[in-house]
Structure 1
Amino acid sequence: MMEHVSTCCMVVVVAEAPNFQNEMRRLLRERVIDTARRLVCTEGWGAVNMSRVAKEVGVSRPVLYKEIGTKQDLAGVVIASELETFLVGVTETVTAEPGDLLAGITAAAEFTLRTAADNTLLKAVLAGRSGADTTLLPTLMTEPEPVLGRATAAFTAILRTRYGLESFSAPELDTRVEAVVRLVLSHLFQPAGSIDRAVAQIALVAAPLFVREQ
């Protein structure tokens, strides 16, 4: 009887082990992201290096490289994490809007621009645009991932869920949403004038893109 119980316990432990390992990896990634983000906000991206991050997190460099990759990979991970925070807010903003597609797009754009204006990570990156190490800035502004591609895909899904948009095929909707996202990012990274003016311009451009929506 005791032997049977012991075997059962072993089965339970083995079954739960992968979940434990995944949880440890998740916690490690969170600590790495938080550490890198803090360094960027306080000292700039140039102060971030894999040896320092590993030391502050409390792991070896090989462990950090295995989990994250290179410094450029770390940049992508940090940006992707920040983007997810924005997208949660965008989802809540669009969900709160009535069945008016343009109102939803406008509200999402305004939320993004106003939130970005107070975002410490983004302000730190933009403040260092003339420094010697601006690796994080082109990752944000010009590379298809993690910002443009992920934001477009996520915002497309948000709008499709909230408003249906059955009259648009997937490629048609993707193209229109990407145009809006590109315009929002342009105002975000190269602001000119007030946020109210930027939101009005985005609404003006977005309106004819979705005229087939009933």
Structure 2
Amino acid sequence: MADAPNFQNEMRRLLRERVIGTARELVCTEGWGAVNMSRVAKEVGVSRPVLYKEIGTKQDLAEVVIAEELDSFLAGVTETVTAEPGDLLAGITAAAEYTLRTAADNTLLKAVLAGRSGADTTLLPTLMTEPEPVLGRATAAFAAILRARYDLDAFGEPEIDTRVEAVVRLVLSHLFQPAGTIDRAVAQIALVAGPLFHREF
């Protein structure tokens, strides 16, 4: 009996993984407009009530899919920053470059941006304009990454969060509305980040 809760949690985790994978595949191959809860439930092999109970609405599903994608990006950002242990600006710049280059090859992001003029663009504002799950989570996570790897004692906590948010907003702007090369975007981000964190180097 003691193992029952763990078994249930594992089954729920596997279900969420299948739901997210199914929804992601539909977005990448057919666009967000092709995603509906009935179809996802059928392809996953569960009833609609089970899917609604586990995930919620279609908008909730959009946020879950985006959050999962963001977690993958943040794992890469963590590794990238770790490779620049002694230079805050180099870490920030490397993280920005990693994000932009990885995003350029990301099939989900390509599919979402390609459908920006379509009839159902629900996933696009979730990515670009809503505070969560992208901007808020990315800012909090990146701030935590920088705090863990660099000496930021020269800044107060609110100062760190404000400066990190400014950098994240700039990176997201280049990600969603690219103009010019990635190298140019990274140079611009470094130009802005330098003065923001100048007390650290």
Q: TM-score range by the shorter chain?
A: over 0.9
Matched, 1:193 2:180: yes
The match for 2:30 is 43
* Structure 2, unpaired ranges of 5+: none
CA shift, 1:55, in A, is 0.2
Pick the structure with greater CA Rg: 1
SS in structure 1 at match of 2:186: helix
Matched, 1:121 2:131: no
Q: What are the residue-to-residue correspondences of 1:157-196 with 2, within 5 Å?
A: 157-196=144-183
* Structure 1, unpaired ranges of 5+: 1-13
Q: What are the residue-to-residue correspondences of 1:14-93 with 2, within 5 Å?
A: 14-93=1-80
Separation in 2 of the partners of 1:211 and 1:197? Answer: 21
Q: Residue deviations 1:10-39, cap 9 Å, x none?
A: xxxx21111111000000000000000000
The match for 1:156 is 143
Matched, 1:137 2:110: no
SS in structure 2 at match of 1:99: coil
TM-score (ref. length: structure 1):
0.93
CA shift, 1:179, in A, is 0.2
61-70 vs 163-172, greater mean Cα deviation: 163-172
What letter is aligned with 1:124? A
Q: Quick check: 2:41–2:51 contact (8 Å CA) kept in 1? A: yes
Cα-Cα RMSD = 0.6
Q: Residue deviations 1:186-211, cap 9 Å, x none?
A: 00000000000000000000000011
Matched, 1:210 2:168: no
CA shift, 1:166, in A, is 1.4
What letter is aligned with 1:146? P
CA shift, 1:164, in A, is 2.5
CA shift, 1:80, in A, is 0.1
TM-score (ref. length: structure 2):
0.99
Moved over 6 A (4+): none
Identity %: 89
The count of residues paired between Structure 1 and Structure 2 equals 201
CA shift, 1:98, in A, is 3.3
CA shift, 1:169, in A, is 1.5
Separation in 1 of the partners of 2:93 and 2:55? Answer: 36
Separation in 1 of the partners of 2:151 and 2:74? Answer: 19
